[in-house]
Amino acid sequence: VTGATEAAYDAAGSAYQHWRWSRLWDTLEVDVVLEELPTQGRALDAGCGYGRYAAPVRVRGLDYVGIDISDVQLGLARAAHPEIAGQLVRGDIVVMPFADASFDAVLCTRVLSHGASLDAASGEFARVLRPGGTLVVTDISDQHYYERATIPTESGEVRLPVKRYAQRDLAAALERTGLAIERCRRIAEQYATVPLLDVTVARKLAAR
């Protein structure tokens, strides 16, 4: 799963960022995610891509660390944010090179629908969050037709691998790892008949 995803995002390169769907996340998603985050401490952007959230998360008051499987997307993030290049790490969100309880917040925006194990990713989010820390996950709704979309690039169309999952399955996986669900929201485009984005907010419980 990760190999195909990595290859697709490497091939998409900067075309991903300028794709019409990607632009839509700037208007529909970014503020929704930001308002759920704390205003100080350390935030981990799991599957950070080209670094869409790097500036707004820091403006909110958090230190920013990003991890992504695609070298090309990370290169774009480092080029756009050279001052934090050292905080942008290559790796898989299901086995992250970060210490236990080392983050106050984790955000993971439209990454899990590329097929990472919900249990493995949830376990890693719970592990790296401090007790009381916040997790915000967004993803394409399982009712949406996004998987049919392709990214136009100079060397052809790139199709992203998409593996649908239901928001309730994510919520169950998070709960199994000691994260308490605070909110589940759905965001739709105006006049759309199907929801577009699922937003799930959870909190790491204190150790029992």
Ligand X SMILES: C[S@@+](CC[C@H](N)C(=O)[O-])C[C@H]1O[C@@H](n2cnc3c(N)ncnc32)[C@H](O)[C@@H]1O
Residue 2 is a binding residue for ligand X (CB under 6 A): yes
Do 47 and 68 meet the contact criterion of CB atoms below 8 Å apart? yes
DSSP H helices in 35-166: 54-59, 71-80, 118-128
57-86 residues near ligand X, rule: CB under 6 A: 68-70, 73
Residue 200 is a binding residue for ligand X (CB under 6 A): no
Which residue is it, tokens 């308490």? Answer: 180
Exactly one of 109, 122, 134, 200 binds ligand X (CB under 6 A); that residue is 109
Residue least distant from ligand X (Cβ): 49
The Cα-based distances of 7 to 1, 111, 114, 118, 164 in angstroms read 10, 14, 12, 21, 19
39-58 residues near ligand X, rule: CB under 6 A: 47-49, 52
Nearer to ligand X, 94 or 196 (CB): 94
* Amino acid, res. 192: A
120, two tokens: 């493995």
Residue 122 is a binding residue for ligand X (CB under 6 A): no
Residues of this chain that interact with ligand X (CB under 6 A) are 2, 5-6, 9, 25, 47-49, 52, 68-70, 73, 92-94, 109-111, 114, 116
